[in-house]
Amino acid sequence: MFPVPLFTSRASARVWIAPAVLTALILVVLGLLLWIITLRDFKEEDHQHFLDVRDAQQSLLHKLAANRDFFLLLTEQMVEGRLDAETFQHKAARYVADNPELINITWADHDFIIRWTAPYEPNKQVLGLKLSLAEPERASRLARQTGQPAYTRPFKVIQGIVAVEIYVPVFREGDFLGTFGGIYSLEGLLRNGISEEIRERNQACLVDDSGSVVGTCVAGPGERTDPRLTQVLPLGADVPDLGLRLARYRNGWAWDLWLLSVLSFALAVGVGWSMWALRRYLRAQEQAEQALYDNYTLLNSILEGTNNAIFVKDLDGRYLLVNAAGARMLGASAEAIVGQDDRGVLPPEAAARIMELDRQVMASGEGQAVDLEIEVDGVLHTYLSSKNPFRDRQGRIIGLIGVARDISARKRAEEVLKESEAKYRLLFRAVTDGLIIFDAETRKVLEANEAACRLYGYTSEKFSQLSVYDLSAEPERSKQRIDAMLATGLVRVSPVYHKTSDGTILTLEISSGSFTWNEQRLFFAVIRDIAEQQKLDQMKDDMLSAVSHEMRTPLTAMLGFAEFMLENPVEPDQLKEYLGIICKETGRLKELIDNLLDLQRLRAGFGMSDLQPVDIGELLRELGTFFARQSSLHQLSWDAPQTSAVLLGNRELLHQALSNLLSNAIRYSPEGGLISLSARVEVEEGQVVFSVQDQGQGIPPESRKQIFSRFFRIDNRDGTRVGGSGLGLPLVKEIAEAHAGRVWVESEEGVGSTFYMSIPLRPKLPQKVKAGS
């Protein structure tokens, strides 16, 4: 594109007017820009202040809620009788130390007399005092009346500061025991409840309903606050007459705005002066430009009237001329391109390739035509470029002339076709389900993916020789389904039975549909093996059925005896007998539920607390002493290691596992006998092996593989049903595996059984176990 004259012959002689007006406009625009920037900064400050107020309010509310939860925890422990003065002093003092916004924590009895306080030394003067001040008396009695925590309004406490107190009532079976109280330092609440980052930007105060400051404000490094950026939010209905006020500190102009204003003024003056000088120069060139204008217009019309890119370069590869089509090809304006070589407008690799081709054309003096790929605005284009030497009047080569045509659409069409086929192949191979394509007329296999080959056991070459009826285990039904699918469209059928290359029957779910390709009617089948899913569903149904059956038996007994006692007069002895049965069945039901929950927690990877040292000898002596009193028919012996032996484990779970084994030993030796409990430390293997041996009826060989399955039980030899939930041994197995150990059994019918459980002395927990959860 060629330049045209900037001025006509009728341009004004007063060259200073336009620069002056331009300078004034620039100053106005720059002033407006500074005002907009200042306004934008204020809006950003306002938005940040809104976020600070919201975050500060939420932080204070979370802090109050966390402290209230601690008081409720103390209340629960008091109700359960697990909290005495020493425990209270330890827990409360440590909590106050960790939460400096609290001055102290007190316990007042049902007469509102303070009996405990923590920390003790700085607050012991309050012991024996009655909550008689107006606000503590009001809030503590409100807490007793409502049964909910209650806050005081701000008031001056004995310690001489303005504070707020919380009172949490304690009831046991409807009887009022007293209140736990906590004194908040308002300044401490602000310092510990609001982040330091927010306090550096804002002055934080607590105010009453009238807006007056309560207590001491927490100030940051700023000097003055901005009244436009001051906001008050309440702390909620639970904390009466108290709100949070955040006032933003004033920020003056930053150095960059001062620098921008100075540079803007200098720029406006400089631009005005430059425009004045430029106009003087242009007026001198005006006549010459007018003379060239007509010639340029003619040539420019010719160049811009074609869709082909036309360009001229000098010997150094710099563009001397480029038309609009060429500018679009290079992704820049013609003015930006002229005077640069290809390195200034194209990516380095493309520029190097084109400049090397240009050198070859100018060196050989012969034209060349090549395909070039150039990226324009992030899109790759392909051009057919024809280049020839550009000669002067004497025939010397002074550059080159080039014409380029965009052939990207044709190239893209070719690439799309190749890419479409490649995507189809990739998708066909990558699908994890079996995928087979059939000829709709012959029902022959045309193509099968790798998943289908693995599923049926055929190679892809063998597949191409088969039909759908060779795969089906029920050819007639397959023919009916295919006919229906071709008539109606996409269908899903389950279950469908096919056979593999070795005759194994597969249980499948098949989704199929028809389509046309190259005027050929085809249909596809997406095949999924659902045999394993059916097994899982059956296992779930079996478990639910077993749980329902096991729960129904004790519930039936409990309901039957309860209804009988409600509908009939019962003698005291008989009543005691029936209540004993109900109590026994209730315990059985509780054992079933507890075992089932423990089993599910362990299977899910939960239930293992932090590992602690467990004294093996002490554990065996505790179990032996307890179970020795459980049956008069049995003799219990235990053999603990001679030396002190310790393993890392969960003592409660290990105790539960060995208790289950001992209970089973008693239950399955109804005629009595010796029951032995022992532990053997195997140092080289780094483990301890526990064993429980009985002289009972033993376990039949066919039942030993199922003995650790849920709800599996063995009847006595006389056919009577043995009590228990059927979850004890599965729970033992899960506890052993949770400790990275194992459990097994050795048994002989009529002689007895020995159950072994090995536990590593320093276990590495399995990946699924979440220690400490």
> Is the pLDDT score of 644 beyond 80?
no
Q: Does residue 118 surpass a pLDDT of 90?
A: yes
- Residue 262: is its pLDDT beyond 80? no
Question: Could you report the per-residue pLDDT of 616-639, keeping only the tens digit for each?
Answer: 888 888 888 888 877 778 888 888
35 exposed, middle or buried (CB, 10 Å; 0-12, 13-18, 19+)? exposed
The share of the chain scoring above pLDDT 70, in percent, equals: 85
Q: What's the pLDDT at 253?
A: 60
pLDDT, mean of residues 158-178: 89
pLDDT surpassing 90 at residue 73 = yes
- Is pLDDT of 162 > 90? no
What pLDDT is stored for residue 657 in this prediction?
85
Can you give the pLDDT at residue 659? 83
Mean pLDDT of the chain, nearest integer: 81
Asked if pLDDT for residue 494 goes beyond 70, the answer is yes
What type of residue sits at position 34? Answer: L
Highest mean pLDDT among 123-137, 214-228, 289-303, 363-377: 123-137
Tokens of 380: 């790759």
The SS3 of residue 88 is helix
Q: Any idea of the CA torsion for 283, 288, 291, 293, to the nearest 10 degrees? A: -70
Q: How confident is the model at residue 724 (pLDDT cuts 50, 70, 90)?
A: low
Q: Answer yes or no: is pLDDT of 112 > 90.
A: yes
CA dihedral 763, 764, 770, 773 (to 10 degrees): 30
In Å, how far are 204, 237, 243, 524, 753 from 56, measured between CA atoms? Answer: 9, 17, 11, 61, 67
Contacts of residue 47, Cβ cutoff 8 Å, sequence gap at least 6: none
* Residue 13, pLDDT score: 47
pLDDT at 7: 43
pLDDT at position 179: 95
Q: Rounded mean pLDDT of 638-647? A: 78
pLDDT more than 90, % of the chain: 15
Q: Is the pLDDT of residue 722 over 60?
A: no
Strand 505-517 relative to strand 520-529, pairing = antiparallel
Q: In the predicted model, is pLDDT for residue 486 greater than 80?
A: yes
Instruction: With cut-offs at 50, 70 and 90, classify the pLDDT of residue 117.
Output: very high
Res. 94: pLDDT tops 50: yes
Q: Is the pLDDT of residue 21 over 60?
A: yes
Residue 695: pLDDT band with limits 50, 70, 90: confident
Instruction: Tell me how far apart the alpha carbons of residues 346 and 180 are, in angstroms, rounded to a whole number.
Output: 77
pLDDT of residue 538: 65
User: pLDDT-derived band of residue 758, with 50, 70 and 90 as boundaries?
Assistant: very high
Q: Is the peptide bond before 149 cis (omega within 30 degrees of 0)?
A: no
Average pLDDT rounded to a whole number, residues 297-314? 80
Higher pLDDT, 299 or 214: 214
Q: What is the pLDDT of residues 547-604, one digit of tens each?
A: 665 566 667 777 777 887 888 888 888 888 878 877 877 766 776 676 666 666 666 5
Biggest CA pair distance of the chain: 138
CA dihedral for 712, 717, 721, 725, sign (positive or negative): negative
Distance CA 623, CA 665 (A): 13
Question: pLDDT at position 5, please?
Answer: 45
Q: Does residue 704 carry a pLDDT above 70?
A: yes
Greatest mean pLDDT range, 171-175, 217-221, 225-229, 292-296: 171-175
**pLDDT value of residue 12:** 44
672: left (phi over 0), alpha (psi -120 to 50) or beta: left
- Give the per-residue pLDDT at 102: 92
- The pLDDT assigned to 10 comes to 45
Distance in Å from the first CA to the final CA of the chain: 75
Contacts for 342 with CB less than 8 Å, ≥ 6 apart:
317, 350, 351, 354, 355
User: Mean pLDDT, to the nearest integer, of 156-163?
Assistant: 82
Above 90 in pLDDT, residue 75?
A: yes
Local confidence band at 214 (pLDDT 50, 70, 90 cut-offs)? confident
What token pair was written down for 120?
């003790």
Residues 482 and 474: beta-carbon distance below 8 Å: no
